[in-house]
Structure 1
């Protein structure tokens, strides 16, 4: 520990102000969709190795308050995604029956959504879109999350979650009810 040192501390008795961002731009459904992107070029993605047991994955997700993780193999290659809902669903019992493996030995690979069964949005499309466009797309997927890819370099660029959109808009966002038009999404947003 000799390489570290104690930092100088100051008393808080005279401090009363909390700093805030200089520009507080409110986010609406008409704001750029990139405002709700978790960009992996700026923030580490949350990943699980495909051999992680479902019990370990569930505990990690609950502890970190994350509902979806990317699944990678031992070489860090993207294989799919696993959600907390997957880990708590009938998929687990189906995997037990299909594999003959005890539940405690099941891995996320046995219940994840494989990449070949998924759709994503390209970053170029996202940059030209509004949050309302993104919500409509997520509604058509019927998913709480959508992956964003960089088609130029063939990588997963980021992730958008309905819960992040709800936090930024400061309203509830319901994805499982499929809306047929942007007008229906706007109506749902106004009613919230």
Structure 2
């Protein structure tokens, strides 16, 4: 073995980040913008969590959407920050509910209402294909299922696409796929 010479950190200025090397475009493979649950733990919340607690947690962690799970940790729906905003809680309270008793399950979008992408389709698609498909539905998040394995495989997020493509989209509100499409096409 031999010792390798150490050098002074004088002329090196830039701290490299993975996104420095992401040369993604609408023609890049869709898998580049796919959050794979085989590699990343899904962001989940228990269906019996109070809406007020969930709202605070989402604000604290800067998360705009969570998968709602039952006691067995199986998907029962999804909840976004928009679904759980104070306006929806106030509406329910006006209908006789106590604010501190409103649960995530009262405001979530049930799994039966969700439309998803199939993993097989994602493996052969381009980012532009995904954007075009999802902009028509006006959604910010879309689950991806592996129908061959019968499981929920991952998620595609408009915010992730905008960040990875380095699009100049307002962050005042989460971008939708329509916003991304408009930013790419210059509309």
Alpha carbons of structure 1 residues 89 and 132: separation in structure 2 relative to 1, 3 Å: farther
Distance 1:88 1:110 in 2: 13
Superposed CA RMSD? 2.5
Question: 1:62 and 2:78 equivalent?
Answer: no
With normalisation by structure 2, the TM-score equals: 0.82
Where do 4+ consecutive residues of structure 1 move more than 2 Å? 13-21, 89-98, 172-179
With normalisation by structure 1, the TM-score equals: 0.80
Equivalent residues of 1:95, 1:110 under 8 A apart = no
1:191 corresponds in structure 2 to: 186
Structure 2: any 5+ residue segments left out of the alignment? Answer: 1-6, 170-174
Following superposition, the deviation at residue 188 of structure 1 comes to 3.4
How do 1:85-96 and structure 2 match up within 5 A? 85-88=82-85, 90-96=87-93
Following superposition, the deviation at residue 105 of structure 1 comes to 1.4
- CA offsets 1:65-86 (integer angstroms, 9 cap, x no match): 1100000001111100000011
| SS of residue matched to 1:141 | coil
Question: 1:27 and 2:28 equivalent?
Answer: no
- CA offsets 1:123-147 (integer angstroms, 9 cap, x no match): 0001111111111122111101111
Distance 1:20 1:170 in 2: 14
| SS of residue matched to 1:137 | helix
Aligned length: 172
Structure 1: any 5+ residue segments left out of the alignment? Answer: 1-12, 180-184
Distance 1:103 1:73 in 2: 21
Question: 1:141 and 2:137 equivalent?
Answer: yes
Question: 1:152 and 2:148 equivalent?
Answer: yes
Alpha carbons of structure 1 residues 189 and 103: separation in structure 2 relative to 1, 3 Å: same
